[in-house]
Structure 1
Amino acid sequence: MTDGAAKVIESLGIPTPLQNAFRHLTARNPNYFWTSGQWMTERRGGSDVAEGTETVARLQEDGTHTLHGYKWFTTATDSDMTLTLGRTIDEHGNTVQGTRGLALFYLELRDAEGKLNGIEVQRLKDKLGTRQVPTAELLLDGAKSLMISPEGRGVASISNMLTITRIHNTIGAAGGMRRVINLGREYAAKRFAFGKLLQDHPLHIQTIARMEVEARGAFLLLMETARLLGLEETNLATEQDQHLLRLLTPVAKLYTGKQALAVISEGLESFGGQGYMEDTGLPVLLRDAQVLTIWEGTTNILSLDVLRSVIKSQGQVLTAFFSATEDKVQAALEVPDLSKSANFTLQALQQLKEFTKNAGLKGGSYMELSARDFSYSLAKIYIGSLLLEHAAWPGASDTDKYCAQRWSQQELCPVYKAEASGSYNSEAQVLDKQLVYERSPLTKGKL
């Protein structure tokens, strides 16, 4: 969030009132360095900030604003500053509704005397994980702040922060997978069971190898997204690069979050009963991983964001995706050990093209239902292309090639398969709702 706040301020041209904050946020001296929070979630809100934000911003004579409202979920509550959304008031004294009434505000948590800046801590959250980061419910009762975006541009202005925090989330996912695999690998080299080390049991090593493939795929997706961000920040990004960054940021966050949760859970299982014991330090890895699928946008919210990027760009982001994927796979087609896997990936890419062509004719509800599977397909196919590109590199090892082969053996385009089964039609919608809300015959009259 600190990195993201600096990015937002930079995108605004580092206006004079924010220059001091920017210096603190980007300082390398720990005695001068500031951290930043991000306060967007309110009791009615969650991801729906347009309708859920009730905090009111009242203009003061000196040009600043005071904020009045209740922030239900404020991560890094002990930070030095924060960026938050507030709703403006029109000339008639009424709050402006919808996104056009939202603006982005900068505030420091404490005043010059060290007292809280119109902030009352209502309670600290008792969370499943990430307990090292304090999260609280806060009442803003006249918190002095500075409007740093035009009225109605609050959500758009904070979107730069979301790009950064979602990439950081991907870093956390890739790092969490790597950590549990490294621990599991060392444990397997020392733990005896049934007369031999765990590393000499083929099934155990196969399980860790599957985790390794997931971790390597997540790492390459992370580095690709970071590469695109670097090109954008240095003004070297082509139009295709910009479209890819817009698409891959939510895709990488949502998919690696799910990967991390599955891999870390499998990792704990590889320790047997030790993985369930708090004094080993292992359970906290799983607790902390759960948040990776939730904060900065849940899987469904990000899937809809992926869909929005496709629609808003009139398909240009998909064209960029198709082109980049095909380019990465080409080199692998010339490598005997990789050509079969490359063809599997291109076949999945063709299936995705067919789906997008057909789905575009079936309306918004159909596309919304397919959004999650569609995003998974984007992730699986692109990771496959990255693994193939890496394995086709002259300096790649045999295990790099094997990893690309293993990845291509899975279902790479689940949205195509789901469409063929009728998962997104209107009948399925009705049956899904009945399945969720109709009481099972096994429980009727018993619960």
Structure 2
Amino acid sequence: MRIEEGFQQTPYTEPNAYTTDSVLPSLLKRLLPADALREVESDLVRFGGEGLAELREMNAKAAEPQLIQYDNWGRRVDELRTSEGWREVKAYLQREGIPGIFYERRYDAHSRVYGFAKHLLSSGSSSVMYCPLGMADGAARVLELSGSPATKRDILPRLISRDPEIAFTAGQWMTERPGGSDVSQTETVARPVPDATSPYGPVYSIDGFKWFSSATDSDVAVALARTGSVASGSRGLSLLLIPLRRPLIRPTNEPRPSALTNNIRIHRLKNKVGTKIVPTAELELAGAEGYLIGEPGAGVKLIAPVLNITRMHSAVTSIGSLRRCIAIATAFSHVRRLPGKEMLNENVVHVAELAKATVVYRALTHMVFGAVLLLGKTECGVATEEEAMRLRLLTPAVKSFAADRASYVMEECMSLLGGQGYMEETEFGTIIKDAWVEKIWEGTAAVLALDMIRATSKPGVLGAFVSWANSTISSCPTELARRLSVPLDTLRKGLNEIHSTYTTRSITLALRPALMLFSHVTSALYLLEHTVWAHANSEPTAETDIEVFRRWVQENGLDQAMQDVQRAKAANASRPKADTQIVYGAGPERESPKAHLAEKVTAHL
């Protein structure tokens, strides 16, 4: 039989990503003012349809970068070559207003919601371009808050520009070989250059080795370097703005120079599991010129906005990648017929699996965009003190939880296409492998769990969260509360467990379970907030929102998360020793991990 003969499967077609999304239209209706919604929605409808179709054509041309270290005469050139597709995707998203929308602030605090909605729709179709664009966003915020007048005049406008001819992207250089996420062990040293002047700030000569430089094709980087003594740890670190190539500002028709022009050597490109298209490198800084941002020794504090913003980009990338996987699996269900039977979209077992995936997507999206709105309010100076405190807790939680839950569900979506899901042509493999990095980039779950301990130790932070949670639960009208009595009771128990856990300062073994429980409860609270709104306004989605809330609380692991926390808190002192023996084998020479390890690590964060 020839391939053209016999059964021919009808290919699936992905519909408009915005109009068919199960969350965004209703969520934006609640979050945005009516006049803003009218403008934003028309753009999102266009972007979710013809916009994404155009973007995917560009993305199909993206290929892995190449590093040419030497020319044919043996001269060191360190020429980084990126693909046409990569450059087109970057330019396209910059024209679409990423990260420009955030700083134009046409919709004030809601500009973050609008911009991140476009991010969500295009994740999984853009070669992880939100890595350099997210870091450009973070660098722009740093310069907006702490930059010199010259950097605000010359560099900030380029980081947020919609014109790809002049727009900059940025890197963020923190990770080094000794410490990973522990920046107190930074080896890179920055020394003032006598008599050197620059309008961008005091000039420093920087020597060191940065172990992970994502988006090495960027124009600038914000980097931590040691200006104080080694003994001063993270208090001896300063923040610097480093041009990757010099001159930094040059005519657009001039060829892009090598990184060697600023004494930066590209040691090698990283051979990663995923994110293959992103040019991530090891960089040797041998007298690179950089400009001090803010005061010496304040580097960790000054770079915090970059971390907060890139963690939000990471969370949105996770849920956006999940959205694309669900969209593919749903589209396939409309064209695939079981042998001699019904279509997949008529098969109750298949639809049940899609519903499970969609419930998770809804919960994650409501939680993440709850944090996004708080970020916008904080940046515009309209957040209350309690909202700012809640954002401090939500930032590490949304990043960690979205990556953890989305990765598993994406794999389930792939299986819904059977063998075809495992084929590269469906893009599941690329989307899933690229999304895995979100479990690691900008902090693993363990690091973020420690950050939660640090956040909850601040006076008033935990209390502000509990107050908001109780207010959200109390907002449920009597009739609706009766219908949801079981999940509401579970939610109250989870909230009580969070409060008792984080007010017990020694929770070493419960660190990660506590983060997961906090995230389960918080996502449920945001679902409840939306459910109450939909019910009160007789929204067409009201009954579905009620059912999603119920399923999320009762069927998606909140009870298990509470049990995990309780089990970890109840573990006795012999647990670490037993863990060591399980992992490394029994024997008198085996030492168990120190019980105070978490407290020691927390001190370095």
Q: Distance in 2 between matches of 1:419 and 1:6?
A: 39
Alignment of 1:230-309 (within 5 A): 230-309=376-455
Q: Kindly state the Cα deviation for residue 341 of structure 1 after the two structures are TM-superposed.
A: 2.3
**1:88–1:96 contact (8 Å) kept in structure 2:** no
The 8 Å contact of residues 439 and 445 in structure 2, kept in 1 or not, is answered as yes
Q: Secondary structure at the match of 2:443?
A: coil
Partner of residue 372 from structure 1, selected from 505, 512, 533: 512
2:156 aligned partner, one-letter code: F
Q: How does 1:120-131 map to 2 (within 5 A)?
A: 120-131=265-276
Relative to structure 1, the CA distance from residue 139 to residue 419 in structure 2 (aligned partners, 3 Å threshold; closer, same or farther) is: closer
Q: Is the 8 A contact 2:188 2:206 kept in 1?
A: yes
Q: How many Å separate the matches in 2 of 1:50 and 1:416? A: 34
In the alignment, which residue of structure 2 is the partner of 1:55?
A: 188
RMSD of equivalent CA atoms: 1.9
CA contact (8 A) 1:261 1:290 kept: yes
Cα distance, 1:416 vs structure 2: 4.0
Tell me, in whole angstroms, the C-alpha distance in 2 between the residues paired with 1:253 and 1:275.
27
TM-score, normalised to structure 1, is: 0.91
CA distance in 2, matches of 1:383, 1:286: 23
**Partner residue of 2:33?**
none
Deviations 1:289-343 (A, max 9, x none): 10011001111100100111111x13x2111111111122223352143343223
Q: Match for 2:527: what amino acid?
A: L
Write out per-residue CA displacement over residues 347-402 of structure 1, whole angstroms, 9 at most, x where no aligned residue.
32123333345x34xx3xxx232111111111111111111121122224311111
TM (norm. structure 2) is 0.68
* Correspondence for 1:110 among 245, 255, 263: 245
Could you say what secondary structure the match of 1:27 adopts? coil
Aligned to 1:83: 222
Q: What is the DSSP-based 3-state SS (H/G/I as helix, E as strand, rest coil) of the residue aligned with 2:142?
A: helix
Long gaps (5+) in structure 1: 441-447
Q: Which runs of 5+ in 2 are unaligned?
A: 1-134, 197-201, 251-256, 588-605
Q: Is the 8 A contact 1:370 1:415 kept in 2?
A: no
Which secondary structure does the structure 2 equivalent of 1:41 belong to? coil
Q: CA deviation at 1:424?
A: 3.8
Aligned in 2, Cα 1:80/1:96: closer, same or farther, shift over 3 Å?
A: farther
Contact 1:338–1:392 (Cα < 8 Å) also in 2? no
Does the 8 A contact of 1:78 with 1:134 survive in 2? yes
Q: For 1:30-429, what aligned pairs fall within 5 Å after superposition? A: 30-51=164-185, 53-61=186-194, 62=196, 63-88=202-227, 97-112=232-247, 114-116=257-259, 117-194=262-339, 195-311=341-457, 313-314=458-459, 316-334=460-478, 335=480, 336-357=482-503, 359-360=504-505, 363=506, 367-393=507-533, 394=537, 395=539, 396-410=541-555, 411-412=557-558, 414=560, 416-421=562-567, 424-429=571-576
* Maintained 8 Å contact 2:148/2:293: no
Equivalent position to 2:577, from 385, 406, 430: 430
Distance in 2, Cα, partners of 1:340 & 1:417: 17
Separation of aligned partners in 2, 1:115 and 1:15: 27
Task: Describe the superposition over 1:87-126 as per-residue Cα deviations: whole angstroms up to 9, x where unpaired.
Answer: 115xxxx656411221111011111283421111111111
Query: What is the CA distance between 1:13 and its match in structure 2?
Result: 5.2
Query: Does structure 2 retain, via aligned residues, the 8 Å contact 1:342–1:388?
Result: no
Secondary structure in structure 2 of the residue aligned to 1:72: strand
Matched AA of 1:160: P
Q: 1:371 to 1:137 in 2, by over 3 A?
A: same
- Provide, for residues 407-427 of structure 1, a one-character-per-residue CA deviation record: whole Å limited to 9, x for no partner: 110442656423543554312
Q: Provide the identity percentage.
A: 35
Name the structure 2 match of 1:445. Answer: none
Larger mean CA deviation between 179-188 and 428-437 belongs to: 428-437
Alpha-carbon shift at residue 15 of structure 1 (Å): 3.4
Count, aligned residues: 427
Whether the aligned pair in 2 keeps the contact of 1:57 and 1:87 (CA below 8 Å) is yes
The structure, 1 or 2, with the larger RCO (C-alpha pairs under 8 Å, 6+ apart) is 2
1:193 offset after TM fit, Å?
A: 2.0
Contact 2:205 2:289 in 1 (8 A): yes
Q: Is the 8 A contact 2:264 2:285 kept in 1?
A: yes
Deviation digits for residues 172-194 of structure 1 (CA, Å, limit 9, x no counterpart)? 01111111111111111211224
**Partner of 1:84: helix, strand, or coil?**
strand
Tell me if the contact between 2:501 and 2:514 (Cα under 8 Å) persists in the aligned partners: no
Secondary structure (helix, strand or coil) at the match of 1:426 reads: coil
Deviation at 1:82, TM superposition (A): 0.5
